[in-house]
Amino acid sequence: MIPLRQTWPDELAQRYRERGYWRGETFPGFLRERAAQFSDRVAVIGGDGASLTYGELLAGARTAAAGYLALGLKPGDRVVVQLGNIIEFFPAVFGLFLARLVPVYALPAHRLTEIVHFAQKAEASAYVISATHDGFDYRMLAREAVAQVPAIKHVVVIGEAEEFVPFANFKANDATLPDDPSPSDVAFLQISGGSTGLSKLIPRTHDDYIYTLRASAEICGLDDDSVYMTALPVAHNFPMSSPGVFGALYAGSRIVMCPSPSPETAFALIEREKVTITGLVPPLALLWMQAAAKTTHDLSSLKVIQVGGAKFMPEAARRVRQTIGCGLQQVFGMAEGLVNYTRLDDPYEIVVETQGRPISPDDEILIVDDRGNPVPDGEPGNLLTRGPYTIRGYHNDDSANARSFTEDGYYRTGDVVKRTPEGYLVVQGRATDHINRAGEKISAEEIEDHLLAHPQVFDAAVVSLPDPFLGEKSCAFVIAQGEKPKAAALKAFMRTRKVADFKVPDQIVFVDAFQTTAVGKISRKELRAMLREQFLSDKAKG
Ligand code: OOB
């Protein structure tokens, strides 16, 4: 089995310890501490009202750990975990940690191709699922996965297990659990957020991840009075750790597992549980803002909505305060490590205009041109980073590592950003996401932002189309809200935004909806490519 490793150079590791980022904590260790501090306090509550206290969570995790080991799983084995937003996620995953097994987090939306890929790449020997979730039967998926990957010896099912192992039958036993892992051990494998191609596996250590939980909880103002709700799939890095459910546990807060991000479901839970903070991707934030205008639910407990995962346009960001009536925090992060936050006490303009600044004073940020030379502040460039919680390499993927990391250990994020004089990052797009119109480069984001400022525009995506004269021209796909505006009116509106004339979209196409990726966020890059291909192929067919 390929060993799981994540190594920083000794000198940096020493610095990260000396500066108190890496404190030698582990997942089993911190859960035991919280259970001792807050035994009878509710740790997590589900949509149906079922809950676990911190004490019950630890007990459930111990039972699960004993159950996994009784199956014959050995410390170091990897286990693909594919669960929705249910409270059993916690005993299931902390049980793995206590048994020194290594979770590989799949999203509920993943299907056979991805599961087989994760299982093979990680050399997994078990698979933990819900029987069904959102109308899908994961046991069927498990049967196919096991047939393709015989190394998966055990399928553990939460709910009706059929021929598999029922999670509910795990019994506490006297078997001694292994010693706690070393803080520098890999705690789990996260999945890279790439929306095209096959995901890469991201090994995160106890020390590095727990540092982000502790720092994020502080930056996001979590304490034991906070109620953190996840409406996004819990296995994604954003709701898992920024500050996410694990940050909430670290802080002794209460977690609400929202089974669906729809405003109807989420708003009812916010009211019932007096949720104080939650995280959304931009398309959901738009939906919630629209729904908030008409809702009868009381959302006044919400102190802050975090928005991240994709660019939240300033004009949309400005609507949060007036529609939902709470604060906004922008989050620009990646499962590979680096996370940037706007701070809760930042000036309003910074909160709406930027994607925040790094968690750590030791997050090293390089913004470089295509030749690798640093660009001045305010100029867009490729973002490279390294630091106390950014990985040095993917698991079992030499070619991705050669592409994605520089020789001196910087991760190439693939994002194009600029840095403000205050040190905040503004995401401009992905490396290739621009329109080259007769030599003029147009940022798709920039045009979308202008269009979003129009009251009849719900969302917009701008792409390049081939043009015999200009080389490329711009085309805006627009979802209208309320009465559909005329294309000419939108172009006229663009001109009132005082932008260079070449930035006015050459063409405007109205569509009813955009597709979303597995995490439920729109990957703008993929969305644009899809819209472009569809449009061109329709046109070719006449
Ligand atoms: C989060 O993580 P991933 O791994 O799913 O995706 C990372 C990529 C970034 O490289 C960037 O391209 C994009 O998603 N992204 C954003 C963004 N946040 C992420 N692009 C523009 N603005 C933002 N605010 O998506 C993730 C992980 C932890 C916290 C938050 C998001």
In this structure, the number of other CB atoms found within 10 A of the CB of residue 493 comes to 18
- Pairing type for strands 132-133 and 165-166 reads unpaired
> Closest ligand 1 atom, CA of 414?
10
Determine if ligand 1 sits within 6 Å of the CB of residue 82: no
- Whole-angstrom distance, CA of residue 36 vs CA of residue 34: 5
237 lines ligand 1 (CB under 6 A): yes
Q: Is residue 527 part of a domain?
A: yes
Can you give the pLDDT at residue 464?
A: 87
Residue 413 Cβ < 6 Å to ligand 1 = yes
CB of residue 459 inside a 6 A radius of ligand 1: no
Residue 305, in any domain of the structure: no
In ligand 1, which atom is closest to the CA atom of 355?
A: 24
Q: What is the 334 CA–ligand 1 centroid distance (Å)? A: 5
In a domain? residue 194: no
Task: Please enumerate in sequence order all residues whose Cβ is within 8 A of that of 9, keeping only pairs 6 or more positions apart, or say none.
Answer: 409
Which of 112, 146, 181 is where one domain is finished? 181
Answer yes or no: is the C-beta of 522 below 6 A from any ligand 1 atom: no
Does 209 sit in the ligand 1 pocket, CB within 6 Å?
no
Environment class of residue 67 by beta-carbon count within 10 Å: exposed (0-12), middle (13-18) or buried (19+)? buried
Q: pLDDT by residue (tens digit) across 340-399?
A: 999 999 999 999 999 999 999 999 999 999 999 999 999 999 999 999 999 999 999 998
Our answer on whether the CB atom of 242 is closer than 6 Å to any ligand 1 atom is yes
Q: Shortest CA distance to 514 belongs to which of 503, 525, 498? A: 525
Neighbour tally for 55: CB within 10 Å: 16
- Give me ligand 1 centre to Cα 57, in Å: 30
CA angle at 109 for the pair 190 and 197, rounded to the nearest 5°: 65
The pLDDT assigned to 433 comes to: 64
49: three-class secondary structure by DSSP: coil
Cα–Cα distance measured from residue 384 to residue 372, given in angstroms and rounded to the nearest whole number: 10
DSSP run (H or E) holding 471: strand 471-480
Q: Which of 332, 353, 391 to mutate to test the pocket of ligand 1 (most atoms within 8 A of CB)?
A: 332
Per-residue model confidence (pLDDT) at position 519 = 60
Look at the block and give the residue holding tokens 């792409």.
Answer: 463
Does residue 315 form part of some domain? no
ipTM of the complex: 1.00
Q: What is the pLDDT of residue 196?
A: 34
The candidate with the shortest Cα–Cα distance to 115, out of 142, 84, 88, 78, is: 142
Residue 300 counted as domain residue: no
Q: For residue 427, which atom of ligand 1 is closest to its CA?
A: 21
Pairing of strands 507-510, 471-480: parallel
Tell me the C-alpha distance between 229 and 256, whole Å: 4
What's the pLDDT at 469? 65
- CATH code of residue 510: 3.30.300.30
pLDDT at 521: 64
CB 223 within 8 A of CB 5: no
For residue 330 and ligand 1, the question of a CB distance below 6 A is answered with yes
Domain count, the chain: 2
> Does 444 reside within a domain?
yes
Amino acid present at 359: I
Per-position pLDDT tens, the chain of length 542: 999 999 999 999 999 999 999 999 999 999 999 999 999 999 999 999 999 999 999 999 999 999 999 999 999 999 999 999 999 999 999 999 999 999 999 989 888 878 998 999 999 999 999 999 999 999 999 999 999 999 999 999 999 999 999 999 999 887 789 999 999 999 999 988 543 346 789 999 999 999 999 999 999 999 999 999 999 999 999 999 999 999 999 999 999 999 999 999 999 999 999 999 999 988 889 999 999 999 999 999 999 999 998 889 899 999 999 999 999 999 999 999 999 999 999 999 999 999 999 999 999 999 999 999 999 999 999 999 999 999 999 999 998 899 889 999 999 998 899 999 999 999 987 675 667 687 565 778 888 989 999 999 999 999 989 877 676 799 999 999 999 999 999 999 998 887 777 889 999 999 998 876 556 666 778 888 889 988 999 988 88
From residue 118, alpha-carbon distances to 126, 156, 336, 374, 526 in Å are: 12, 17, 16, 36, 22
Extended strands (E) in 424-456: 425-430, 434-437, 440-443
DSSP 156-203: EEES--TTSEEGGG----SPPPPPPPPTTSEEEEEE---SSSPPPEEE
* Residue located nearest, by CA, to atom 22 of ligand 1: 311
Assign residue 168 the CATH number of its domain.
3.40.50.980
In a domain, 2, yes or no: no
Ligand 1 atom 25 nearest Cα? 309
Q: Tokens standing for 51?
A: 């809950």
Residue 534 within a domain = yes
Cβ(355) to ligand 1 under 6 A?
Answer: yes
* Binding site membership of 415 for ligand 1 (Cβ less than 6 Å): yes
Amino acid identity for residue 67 in this structure: G
Nearest CA to ligand 1 atom 14: 309
Distance CA 205, CA 359 (A): 17
Query: Of the candidates 119, 147, 181, which is a domain's last residue?
Result: 181
- Asked which of 127, 147, 181 is the last residue of a domain, the reply is 181
For residue 389 and ligand 1, the question of a CB distance below 6 A is answered with no
Q: Which long-range contacts (CB under 8 A, 24 or more apart) does 43-46 make?
A: 43/90, 43/249, 43/254, 43/255, 44/87, 44/90, 44/245, 44/254, 44/255, 44/256, 44/257, 45/87, 45/254, 45/255, 45/256, 45/257, 45/273, 46/85, 46/86, 46/87, 46/256, 46/257, 46/259
- CA–CA distance, 3 with 505 (Å, rounded to integer): 51
pLDDT in tens, 136-157: 999 999 999 999 999 999 999 9
User: How far does residue 415's CA lie from ligand 1's centre (Å)?
Assistant: 9
Using a 10 angstrom Cβ sphere, with 0-12 exposed, 13-18 middle and 19 or more buried, the burial of residue 17 is middle
Compute, in angstroms, the gap from residue 520 CA to the centroid of ligand 1. 13
Cis peptide before 283 (omega within 30 of 0): no
From 334, 339, 390, 416, the mutation candidate for ligand 1 (largest count of ligand atoms within 8 A of CB) is 334
Query: What's the rounded Cα separation, in Å, for the pair 439 and 349?
Result: 32
Gap from CA of 369 to ligand 1 centroid (Å): 21
Q: Domain residues for 103?
A: 54-181
258 closest CA partner among 277, 243, 242, 241: 277
3-state secondary structure of 434: strand
| Cβ-contact 390, 404 below 8 angstroms | no
